[in-house]
Structure 1
Amino acid sequence: MGRTTMAQLDWWPSSPTLTVGLVAAAVMALAQAPVPFVDDDRLLTTVVVVAFFAATCALAADVWAPRRVAVAAGVVVAGTLALEFVGHTTGWPFGAYDYTPALVPQIGGVPVVVPLAWWAMAVPAREVAARLAGPGWARVALGAVALTAWDLMLDPQMVESGYWVWEADGPWQGIPLSNYAGWLVSSAVVMVVLDRLLPLPGSSRPLLVLYVWWGISEALAFIVFFGDPLVGVVGGAAMLGLGALAWRGDRHIPRRTTTYGSRG
């Protein structure tokens, strides 16, 4: 009997990009696990974000041509880096905040992992929106809401870890509501960019799973380990509610059969 290759196994991903994406997602999840148990999680945070970025890139490359994904990632990362630079130097559009020196390297006072994280979650959030609405402003708005829902848990965690600070206290765990208004507007711009650079040919369940995973893992961390169940319940309900609706909406989206843009 001949040897069975990985490609011959029914459960093994047949696409190399999908395989890379799943491996990167596994690394991300493994790096997340010890975070609640260590006093200094700077290295783990960096590993989580880099693996998350790699997972999103690879899973996106299973849907769109790698060249399209590289261009889109470059535009979103550069754009959100500029956004965060303006944000922490002027207070617009999020409110007055600043980064601490904890996360390195930094460009213009902005930790490099921050724009990487914008891209990493923006594509899964757009996947959520794409399953709930057709092309147009409804999809842009839903994508912005899905991306902003993540920050209901992300911002409290990062502030508690000492990665950035707000000048004034706000009603959501010390974070001003202006932050979330800024996130909604900024996320909507990112969704418009993604719609232009990564036109939707169909669905990508792994990207949706990535979004749902973050909702589950962050909610559990806050409820069980961080001692802040309110953040976990509200943030988890927002992300997982959208994720559940998107999962049900999967049947309304045509399946992808080829990598979009492979000849473009």
Structure 2
Amino acid sequence: MSDDGPAPDGGSPADTATRSDALRARLPATRRETELLLDRLVRENRFTIAVLFPVIGAITLVGSAEGWVPDPLAFNPWFVLFGVLVMRSPLVVGVLPAIDRRAIGWIGVLIAYTYAIELVGVTTGWPYGSFEYTVSLGPMIGGVPAALPVFFIPLVMNAYLLCVLLLGPRASNGWLRLLTVIPAVVAMDVVLDPGAVAIGFWNFGGGAFYGVPLSNYAGWVLSAAVAVVTLDRAFELSGLRERLTNCEFMLDDMVSFVILWGGINLWYGNLVPVAVAVAFGIGLVRTDRFDAGLFNPFR
């Protein structure tokens, strides 16, 4: 049998080979080319990622909690996880050039801590207070969502990066960095937990702060401290700061956080969390992260 017959798509084998070669030529061949490609993809879709996705997410989550969204779409864990991954993409792409073997190792330590402290939490109620997950967030490992690091690590990383930007040259002081980032992380949870309790993601069984016990925030002081110390060892500060300065979308995930959880808390009348979300928005404005490129989808 001859190999010179027509290709399945009607072209000759030579045409097919030429198209395959052209496709391979367009694919990135090095890590740097891959980073530039991902930068371009995020930059060209900033409005969709950082504004449209969290707006749709807030409407969908409130609709699920209020019974407006029918099964199997209501609180569908795969839809939730997909949306979270999309909103996380600017942070991941932004940090990617700073990732090396040391960073991978320390991020692995932080992932292990994330699972360990959450497992202790759901088992004993320490350090966050007794709570249980009341909505499926995907596959579970010992009562802990397998995707937990996707939710936890970006939260602390966003707070860390915002503080590095706001502190400027003073961020080089490790103690000042620690004492600034810890309150920022706790403040992010001041926004997150009341909103998550309101829509029924998890339940503390009651608490003084919009259904959240104050002990939860003491637990977050511990986790924030561990996260800051770990991130300090994972990344070289000057390189991270340079990337932050040159990558305008690196904190777009925090923009999504403000829109998503600020909107959910606003719907349920959680005014203190809304005010804290607005404060984060002001911080992002001060670092020029709310720019025309983000809010102009037709640029």
What is the TM-score with the length of structure 2 in the denominator? 0.67
Q: Which residue of 1 aligns with 2:233?
A: 196
Would you say 1:161 and 2:161 are equivalent positions? no
Would you say 1:208 and 2:251 are equivalent positions? yes
| Alpha-carbon distance in structure 1 between the residues aligned to 2:45 and 2:231 | 22
Shift of 1:185: 1.9
Shift of 1:21: 4.9
Q: Supply the AA of the counterpart residue of 1:50.
A: L
Q: Supply the AA of the counterpart residue of 1:239.
A: F
Report matched runs for 1:1-264 at 5 Å: 15-19=36-40, 21-22=42-43, 26-27=48-49, 29-35=51-57, 36-37=59-60, 38-39=63-64, 40-43=74-77, 44-62=79-97, 64-100=98-134, 102-131=136-165, 132=167, 133-167=171-205, 169-201=206-238, 202-203=241-242, 204=244, 205-223=248-266, 226-244=267-285, 247=287
| Alpha-carbon distance in structure 1 between the residues aligned to 2:277 and 2:87 | 19
Deviations 1:240-260 (A, max 9, x none): 344355x28xxxxxxxxxxxx
Identical aligned pairs, as a percentage? 29
Deviations 1:94-137 (A, max 9, x none): 11112235221111111123221111122221111212133312
Q: Is the 8 A contact 1:93 1:179 kept in 2?
A: yes
Q: Is the 8 A contact 1:100 1:163 kept in 2?
A: yes
| Alpha-carbon distance in structure 2 between the residues aligned to 1:78 and 1:95 | 20
Give the secondary structure class of the aligned counterpart of 1:148.
helix
Shift of 1:80: 0.8
Structure 1 gap ranges (5+): 6-13, 249-264
| Alpha-carbon distance in structure 2 between the residues aligned to 1:74 and 1:20 | 27
What is the TM-score with the length of structure 1 in the denominator? 0.75
Q: Which has the higher contact order (CA 8 A, sep 6+)?
A: 2
Q: Is the 8 A contact 2:195 2:261 kept in 1?
A: no
Structure 2 gap ranges (5+): 1-25, 27-34, 65-73, 289-299
Give the secondary structure class of the aligned counterpart of 1:174.
coil
Q: Which residue of 1 aligns with 2:5?
A: none
Q: Supply the AA of the counterpart residue of 1:214.
A: F
Gap change, CA 1:238 and 1:91, over 3 Å in 2: farther
Gap change, CA 1:115 and 1:127, over 3 Å in 2: same
Give the secondary structure class of the aligned counterpart of 2:132.
strand
Gap change, CA 1:28 and 1:241, over 3 Å in 2: closer
| Alpha-carbon distance in structure 2 between the residues aligned to 1:176 and 1:32 | 27
| Alpha-carbon distance in structure 1 between the residues aligned to 2:147 and 2:45 | 16
Gap change, CA 1:185 and 1:243, over 3 Å in 2: farther
Gap change, CA 1:56 and 1:239, over 3 Å in 2: same
Question: How many residue pairs align between the two structures?
Answer: 232
Q: Is the 8 A contact 2:182 2:228 kept in 1?
A: yes
Gap change, CA 1:136 and 1:54, over 3 Å in 2: same
Give the secondary structure class of the aligned counterpart of 1:79.
helix
Larger radius of gyration: 2
Give the secondary structure class of the aligned counterpart of 2:203.
strand
| Alpha-carbon distance in structure 1 between the residues aligned to 2:135 and 2:127 | 22
Q: Supply the AA of the counterpart residue of 1:187.
A: A
